[in-house]
Amino acid sequence: MGSCLSGASSAPPSHYTNYYYESPSKTYNNINTHDSNQEMRLHRIPGRIFLNGSSPFASLFCKQGSKGINQDAMLLWENFGYMDDTVFCGVFDGHGQYGHVVAKKVRDAFPLKIMNEWKSRCREDDNNINNNNNNKNNNHFKIMRESFVKASKSMDRELKQQHSMDSYGSGTTAGQELVIANVGDSRAVLGTRDPNGSLIALQLTTDLKPNLPREAERIMMCKGRVFALENEGIARLWLPNADSPGLAMARAFGDFCLKDFGLISIPEVSYRHLTDHDQFIVLATDGIWDVMSNEQVVNIVASAPRSSAAKLLVEAAVQAWRTKLPSSKPDDCSAICLFFHPNATPNTNTSVATGARESPYKTKQKHQ
């Protein structure tokens, strides 16, 4: 999973009760009706896009691979928490027999859990919110980080009697503040300008693989094992005394048989203060990154019309699967492209913005 949240305010959602989330039954067979009703309510929210589409400042696109049911899900939620300058983006990559169900469930439930934790944490720290600007910014990130972590733990508990997810990437932007949370190998990459004005790619997340030194150290301390099968070459997390389940992630929702052996669901959360040089962010599942470099992704998005940037990126990834890995089945590919500045020149995203930064979310956008 990968997600990002941006916003200028650390205040909690002002009309939060409209998004109240009720935990569903722990029994998988009994959750369908409840989830269907909740899904219908969520689909009516203006500015919440979960299918292929676009808004003036973003585009998103998902294409099923050749491995079976599409197990990716994605979400763009403008005016997140009824805050005009805040947007939530998330991509969610499921696995296993019910991976597609779990990915959609996390897509719908996880943002609401973040709002719940956000509201609760802001109430606790209400006295700190009114301090100077530096303290406000520090406190905002602290609140959002704790909200992401607590929401992830709550989501994992809810899935305990159900199923598992490979990865998620999610985050929020509000005004000039960007907060990113990542579990697994979904990735966030920023398209920004260097001092010379050249467009460069800056990776904002780490692919949390089992052989990453800090992840491997934790796993081995918990008696888990990390190794790659000789005929595969992919490092996986294994039980101490069994060649299973062979998870290619060091962090994931579910997979509770591995939770005592180093697998965790705690996201890695990071913060960035956006500047006029920062042009856009791309959030995508590993189906994109397995076959494309960060630089290739940024160049494609920068040269594409905003409304179709995500689609053109996914189509380029699908073609790369065919040429680079012709004997492999293409994975599901999902991408969200979020732009930070008004689109003054159609079909280009190459000019560096100057002067005061205008928040793209000052005016509410209403979309599907």
pLDDT digits over 90-135, tens only? 999 987 777 888 889 899 999 999 988 988 887 776 655 555 555 6
Q: What is the pLDDT of residues 45-61, one digit of tens each?
A: 888 999 999 999 999 99
Better-predicted residue by pLDDT, 245 or 331: 331
Q: Which domain holds residue 42?
A: 2-206+265-339
Measure Cα distances from 241 to 33, 247, 324 in Å: 40, 15, 36
Provide DSSP, 221-273.
Answer: HTT-EEEE-TTT--EEEEETTEEEEEES-SB-SS-GGGGGGT-B-PPEEEEEE
How far is it, in rounded angstroms, from Cα 365 to Cα 137? 26
State how far the alpha carbon of 143 is from the alpha carbons of 37, 86, 126, 129, 302, in Å: 30, 15, 11, 10, 32
The Cα 60–Cα 4 span in angstroms is 14
Write the DSSP assignment of 91-135 as a string of letters: EEEE-STTHHHHHHHHHHHHHHHHHHHHHHHHHHTHHHHTS-HHH
Residue 232 belongs to some domain of the structure: no
Mean pLDDT of 209-216: 97
* Each residue's pLDDT tens digit, 333-364: 999 999 999 875 433 333 222 222 333 433 33
pLDDT for residue 145: 92
**pLDDT of 162:** 62
According to the model, what pLDDT value does residue 173 have? Answer: 59
Left (φ > 0), alpha (ψ -120 to 50) or beta: where does 96 sit? Answer: left
Q: Which residue has the higher pLDDT, 283 or 21?
A: 283
Distance (Å, whole) CA 2 – CA 171: 7
pLDDT of 172? 59
Task: Let me know if residue 176 belongs to a domain.
Answer: yes
Higher pLDDT, 124 or 151: 151
Give the pLDDT band (50/70/90) at residue 19. very low
Alpha-helical (H) ranges within the chain are: 32-43, 99-124, 126-129, 133-158, 213-221, 286-289, 294-302, 309-324
User: Does residue 155 lie in a domain region?
Assistant: yes
pTM passes above 0.85: no
Full strand arrangement of the beta sheet holding 58-63: 53-55, 58-63, 333-339, 278-284, 187-193, 199-203
Whether 143 has a pLDDT exceeding 50, the answer reads yes
Residue 364 lies in a domain: no
Least confident of 22-26, 43-47, 113-117, 188-192: 22-26
Residue 231 lies in a domain: no
pLDDT of residue 135: 63
Q: What is the pLDDT of residue 10?
A: 44
* Cα–Cα distance measured from residue 71 to residue 305, given in angstroms and rounded to the nearest whole number: 27
Best CA proximity match to 47, nearest among 82, 3, 20: 82
pLDDT (tens digit per residue) in 219-241:
999 999 999 998 888 999 999 99
Round to whole Å and give the CA distance between 31 and 35: 6
Asked if the structure places residue 368 within a domain, the reply is no
Which pLDDT value is given to residue 175?
A: 67
Total domain count for the chain? 1
In a domain, 227, yes or no: no
> In a 3-state reduction of DSSP, which class is residue 2?
strand
167 vs 4: which has the higher pLDDT: 4
CATH code of the domain covering residue 84: 3.60.40.10
pLDDT confidence bin for 366, thresholds 50/70/90: very low
Provide the pLDDT for residue 368: 38
DSSP state of 295: H
The answer to whether residue 243 is domain-embedded is: no
Residues 338, 87 contacting (CB under 8 angstroms): yes
pLDDT value of residue 98: 78
Residue 175 per-residue DSSP state: T
Answer yes or no: are the C-beta atoms of 64 and 70 closer than 8 Å.
Answer: yes
Tokens of 254: 């579910």
Rounded mean pLDDT of the chain? 81
